[in-house]
């Protein structure tokens, strides 16, 4: 075998391993609150905002609110950012982050609004 | 609408007849089959064009009886946006896809179809499948077919309108360009399959090359435009989020770009035969797979983009598996027969370096493909997971390293032989790149990864510019390939500076006051202004602290009835050195509307929040001669303090002034509550009070607009590089026609 091929194969192997490790590290599953509490890695939790629980700290620009996951469990969320304007209208909220103590610290706060692209009720 | 459904049905039948006839012509070599096939194609083409015209006719005449017209348009839309409603829904995009494929078919019939009917066979097979999908999910369904509760024959007064996100000039041109690229991958796919069926593994590449260039150009332009649109309108601060919808067009583009380079090598050295066939299949299958991911609703939980759940899942899965199956079967049947010659000696040949570049792009394509599909296969074994953006960003770094390295070195190497002659040029270019990099480091380029990549990018820019200038003097169109590499390397620089060195700050702006930012300018929120298009904008004054130029920023911030949410669009101050990007995040009204009205008769009590309000009597006072008569409501407020109730007396007043009723607020001691008289009826002894609860989350004060301000250094290089890239690929395509 020519050295060229050996070098090539080694580089490819390194890349594949690199990609695989990276993939397994960055998988962020959807979990329930209970699972999120136990998890050490970043997860996403889907649920609904508890109406009226929002609290925006204008000094620290920290936004807090309560969420209810799909099993009906409530938990506190802190988000180091400004409250998304359309939170009130959101059908669903997805928080990506991890628990720190009793509060879920969200790195990302996704707000899912009704009928983003598809007209409502257009399913046949 | 029966005429439309009929047109698609006829087109479908004609398409299947043509497919079969092209096959028979290939088998029997009987001219009559060829004529039949072309006639079938013509009828299919007329059916598709008729459907396009019919749908547009209904859109422009506002026939809201058609569900598609009702769902995506309204009478309020301007002509331009009515044009873009055509591709607002799935059915329209499939129709667009069909229309493009028809045009490609016409070109193929005029060029290669007679000699290579199998190309048309495969093209028409795909076409038939797409028509079948449109039979299932028709753009011509009537509103009462889709909504069971709608009365037959009803005509809604107006449609639901177009999503405001799509009401943007970019959305008029971005989707059609994207789709032309998307659908053109079918040509290389059909050519490759035909090559395998006919066992002519070399002949197809000459026909394929301009098509592959065309796909690279259009899909690339589409992807870039999508990024630009995202940057200037969505307001989240970036241009690329590795969202499934973005990836679904990015991956086929990467595979096509790899194929393009593979074809160059095959054209010169007859090598990479198997690789190129495989890549042509991979590109098209990734298009189908992307359609499945983004249109079936399987990723609805993982993307803010994806279309809602649809009933096409089965069809889309069938589409992917059917064509993957055909391709894989043909590929493994052919691979044994292919004798791909060795095409390069040693490492320092141009081919070897091109291969490094190709492999890095291929690797990116495959990993993005795998990453985007993560929810599917992780869902098979447990909780569906997606991958975070970090995955893609991390992968990109080593890939960019190898890609840039190969882009820089390859143009200086000779074809076929390993001969490293131009060491001098490399040395000089490296020295120049090093110098520029050193200056950049002095200007603040600090992160090691970025330093290495910027160095390599400049290195690649210097060498490719040099080569393209040499060609510009001789055969200008030949410079395109090198020019496109200059563009790519510039884009890499722009991406690095604008992402790794972007700084942003969230600031809250009280109305009417300047607020300091970390960037050396103060911002004031003036008010909301109405725009002629009905979309409100926040007016902001941006003042340089050192007395430089001031400007007014007008980012969009308005409530959309369509999406039932606030729509945000940033203000981007474009500059050579940096963009200043201001995006509204939230508006906090100063006066809390959180108040409650209570009606009380004399000596009655009501509980409001955690206080008890008792109305005792009215006090009519007239202390001073010229002061207006005022009425005070004598109230007793019970407040709970340390589990005991304590009473306080307060007396908010109401008076007449200049013919208008005025009232004041009386604060309840030791609480945040305030009480004002809303109205009163002295004869009935009744008062209506407004009780303002203490606002827990903010002090009462002016309106506040929260915005995110960010600076994106050198993002101009990204967009300029994109233009250079597009121009370069365009020139290369022109070069093909110069030869033809």
Encoding tokens for residue B326? 């055909």
pLDDT category at A81 given cuts 50, 70, 90 is low
| Cross-strand pairs, A92 | A112
Say whether pLDDT at B297 is over 80.
no
DSSP state of B396: H
Our CA-based measurement puts residue B254 at a distance from the nearest CA of chain A, in whole angstroms, of 17
Per-residue model confidence (pLDDT) at position B438: 94
Encoding tokens for residue B323? 């064509």
Answer yes or no: are the C-beta atoms of A98 and A82 closer than 8 Å: no
| Least confident among B3-7, B525-529, B648-652, B682-686 | B682-686
Q: In angstroms, how far is CA B168 from the centroid of its own chain?
A: 12
| Least confident among B46-60, B301-315, B328-342 | B301-315
Chain A positions touching B696 (Cβ under 8 A) are: 55
* Residue indicated by tokens 């200043």: B580
Encoding tokens for residue B379? 């869902």
| Cross-strand pairs, A47 | A69, A93
Mind listing the pLDDT tens digit for each residue in B543-552? 888 777 789 9
For B508, the closest of A12, A27, A61 (CB atoms) is: A61
Report the residue of B88, B586, B609, B707 to disrupt the A interface, i.e. the one with the largest count of A CBs within 10 Å. B586
Say whether pLDDT at A89 is over 70.
no
DSSP state of B487: H
Name the more confident of B722 and A13: B722
Interface contact flag, A28 B359, Cβ < 8 Å: no
Determine the Cα angle at B160 with ends B157 and B164, to 5°: 140
| Least confident among A19-33, B53-67, B206-220, B449-463 | A19-33
Our CA-based measurement puts residue A98 at a distance from the nearest CA of chain B, in whole angstroms, of 14
What count of other Cβ atoms lies within 10 Å of the Cβ of residue B597?
A: 12
Per-residue model confidence (pLDDT) at position A124: 26
pLDDT category at A123 given cuts 50, 70, 90 is very low
Say whether pLDDT at B666 is over 90.
no
For B383, the closest of A30, A89, A121 (CB atoms) is: A30
Three-class DSSP labels, B510-546: EECCEEECCCCEEEEEEEEECCCCCCCEEEEEEEECC
C-alpha dihedral (A71, A72, A75, A80), degrees to nearest 10? 80
Q: What percent of chain B has pLDDT over 70?
A: 94
CA distance B368 to B363: 8
Name the more confident of B338 and B211: B211
Helix (H) or strand (E) holding A1: none
**What is the pTM for the complete model shown?**
0.84
Residues 6+ apart with CB under 8 A from B446: none
Residues 6+ apart with CB under 8 A from A6: none
Encoding tokens for residue A62? 């920290």
For B387, the closest of A26, A56, A111 (CB atoms) is: A26
CA distance A62 to B27: 71
pLDDT category at A107 given cuts 50, 70, 90 is confident
pLDDT category at B396 given cuts 50, 70, 90 is very high
Chain A positions touching B367 (Cβ under 8 A) are: 19, 23
Our CA-based measurement puts residue B726 at a distance from the nearest CA of chain A, in whole angstroms, of 29
Q: What percent of chain B has pLDDT over 90?
A: 53
Instruction: Say how many residues make up chain B.
Output: 740
């Amino acid at each position: 075998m020519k050295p060229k091929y050996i070098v090539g194969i080694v580089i490819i192997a390194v890349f594949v391993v690199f990609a695989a490790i990276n993939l397994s590290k960055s998988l962020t599953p959807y979990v329930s609150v209970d699972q999120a509490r136990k998890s050490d890695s970043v997860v996403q939790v889907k649920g609904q905002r508890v109406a009226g629980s929002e609290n925006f700290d204008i000094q620290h620009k920290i936004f807090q609110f309560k969420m209810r996951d799909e099993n009906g469990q409530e938990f506190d969320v802190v988000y180091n950012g400004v409250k998304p304007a359309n939170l009130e209208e959101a059908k669903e909220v997805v928080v990506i982050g991890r628990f720190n103590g009793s509060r879920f610290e969200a790195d990302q706060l996704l707000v899912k609004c009704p009928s983003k692209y598809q007209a409502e009720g257009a399913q046949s | 609408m029966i005429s439309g459904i009929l047109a698609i049905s006829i087109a479908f039948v004609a398409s299947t007849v043509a497919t079969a006839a092209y096959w028979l012509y290939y088998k029997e070599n009987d001219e009559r089959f060829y004529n039949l096939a072309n006639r079938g194609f013509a009828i299919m083409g007329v059916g598709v064009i008729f459907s396009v015209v019919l749908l547009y006719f209904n859109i422009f005449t506002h026939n809201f009886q058609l569900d598609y017209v009702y769902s995506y348009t309204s009478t309020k839309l301007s002509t331009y946006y009515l044009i873009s409603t055509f591709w607002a829904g799935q059915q329209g995009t499939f129709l667009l896809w069909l229309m493009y494929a028809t045009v490609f078919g016409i070109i193929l019939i005029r060029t290669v179809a007679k000699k290579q009917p199998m190309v048309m066979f495969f093209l028409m097979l795909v076409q038939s499948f797409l028509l079948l999908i449109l039979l299932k999910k028709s753009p011509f369904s009537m509103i009462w077919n889709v909504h069971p509760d709608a009365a037959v024959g009803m005509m809604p007064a107006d449609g639901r309108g177009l999503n405001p996100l799509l009401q943007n000039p970019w959305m008029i041109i971005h989707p059609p360009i994207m789709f032309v690229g998307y659908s053109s991958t079918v040509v290389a796919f059909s050519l490759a399959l035909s090559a395998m069926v006919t066992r002519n593994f070399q002949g197809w590449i000459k026909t394929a090359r301009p098509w592959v260039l065309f796909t690279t150009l259009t899909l690339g332009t589409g992807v870039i435009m999508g990024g630009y649109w995202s940057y200037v309108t969505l307001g989240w601060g970036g241009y690329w989020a590795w969202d499934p919808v973005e990836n679904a067009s990015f991956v086929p583009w990467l595979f096509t770009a790899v194929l393009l380079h593979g074809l160059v090598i095959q054209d010169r050295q007859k090598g990479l035969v198997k690789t190129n066939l495989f890549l042509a299949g991979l590109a098209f299958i990734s298009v189908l797979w992307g359609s499945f991911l983004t249109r079936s609703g399987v990723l609805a939980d993982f993307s803010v983009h994806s279309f809602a759940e649809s009933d096409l899942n089965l069809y889309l899965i069938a589409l992917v598996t059917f064509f993957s199956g055909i391709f894989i079967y043909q590929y493994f049947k052919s691979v044994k027969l292919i004798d791909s010659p060795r095409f390069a000696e040693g490492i320092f040949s141009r081919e070897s370096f091109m291969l490094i570049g190709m492999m890095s792009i291929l690797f990116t394509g495959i990993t993005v493909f795998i990453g985007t599909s993560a929810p599917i296969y992780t869902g098979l074994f447990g909780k569906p997971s997606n991958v975070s953006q970090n995955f893609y960003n991390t992968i990109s770094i080593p890939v960019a390293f190898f890609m840039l390295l190969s882009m820089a070195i390859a143009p200086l190497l000779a074809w076929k032989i390993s001969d490293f002659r131009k060491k001098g040029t490399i040395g000089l270019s490296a020295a120049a790149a090093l110098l520029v990099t050193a200056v950049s480091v002095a200007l603040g380029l600090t992160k090691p990864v970025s330093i290495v990549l910027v160095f390599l990018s400049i290195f690649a820019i210097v060498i490719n510019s040099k080569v393209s200038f040499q060609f510009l003097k001789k055969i200008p169109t030949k410079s395109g390939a090198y020019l496109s590499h200059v563009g790519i390397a510039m884009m890499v620089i722009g991406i690095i500076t604008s992402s790794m060195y972007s700084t942003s700050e969230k600031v809250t702006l009280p109305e009417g006051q300047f607020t300091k930012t970390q960037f050396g300018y103060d911002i004031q929120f003036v008010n909301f202004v109405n725009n002629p298009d009905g979309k409100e904008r926040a007016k902001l004054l941006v003042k340089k602290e050192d007395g430089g130029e001031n400007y007014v920023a007008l980012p969009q911030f308005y409530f959309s009835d369509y999406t039932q949410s606030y729509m945000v669009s940033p203000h981007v101050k474009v500059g050579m050195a940096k963009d200043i990007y201001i995006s509204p995040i939230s508006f906090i009204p100063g006066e809390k509307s959180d108040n409650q009205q209570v009606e009380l008769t004399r000596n009655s009590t009501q509980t409001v929040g955690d206080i008890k309000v008792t109305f005792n009597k009215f006090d009519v006072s007239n202390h001073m001669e010229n002061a207006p008569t005022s009425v005070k409501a004598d109230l007793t407020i019970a407040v709970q303090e340390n589990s005991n109730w304590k009473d306080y007396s307060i007396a908010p007043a109401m008076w007449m002034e200049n013919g208008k009723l005025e009232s004041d607020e009386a604060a309840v001691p030791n609480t945040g509550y305030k009480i004002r008289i809303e109205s009163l009826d002295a004869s009935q002894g009744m008062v209506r009070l407004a009780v303002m609860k203490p606002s827990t989350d903010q002090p009462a004060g002016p309106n506040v607009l929260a915005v995110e301000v960010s600076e994106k250094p050198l993002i101009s290089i990204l967009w300029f590089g994109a233009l250079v890239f597009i121009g370069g690929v365009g020139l290369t395509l022109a070069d093909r026609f110069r030869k033809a």
